[in-house]
């Protein structure tokens, strides 16, 4: 499948985008809440299964704005991921 930026634009649509997730080579940190009514944890679990080098970090009891409201908890996790070899 052609998952280049050009190929993705040419195919359009979320199904085409999802099909390309397995080709992402970079490590990915997904930070998700288990109480978000907008982005359910099931979506994060699905994405971590589709991305070959993904890690899912779950923030318990947080709502959709957890990155803003719980930044002191999120920032160190993000920093460790970004600084990892």
Distance, in Å, from the CA atom of 70 to the CA atom of 75, rounded to the nearest integer, reads 9
Structure-model confidence comparison of residues 75 and 10, the more confident one: 75
- pLDDT digit string, tens, across residues 50-65: 999 999 999 999 999 9
Q: Could you give the C-alpha distances from 65 to 30, 49, 69, in angstroms and in order?
A: 15, 24, 6
Q: What is the CA radius of gyration of the chain?
A: 15
> Residue 82 pLDDT more than 90?
yes
pLDDT of 18 reads 82
Q: Spell out the domain ranges in the chain.
A: 24-83
């Amino acid at each position: 499948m052609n998952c280049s930026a050009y190929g993705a634009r040419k195919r359009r649509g979320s199904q085409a985008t999802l099909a390309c997730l397995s080709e992402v080579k970079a490590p990915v940190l997904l930070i998700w809440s288990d109480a978000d009514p907008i982005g359910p944890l099931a979506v994060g679990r699905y994405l971590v299964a589709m991305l070959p080098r993904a890690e899912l970090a779950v923030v318990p009891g947080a709502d959709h704005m957890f990155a803003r409201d719980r930044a002191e908890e999120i920032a160190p996790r993000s920093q460790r991921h970004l600084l990892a070899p």
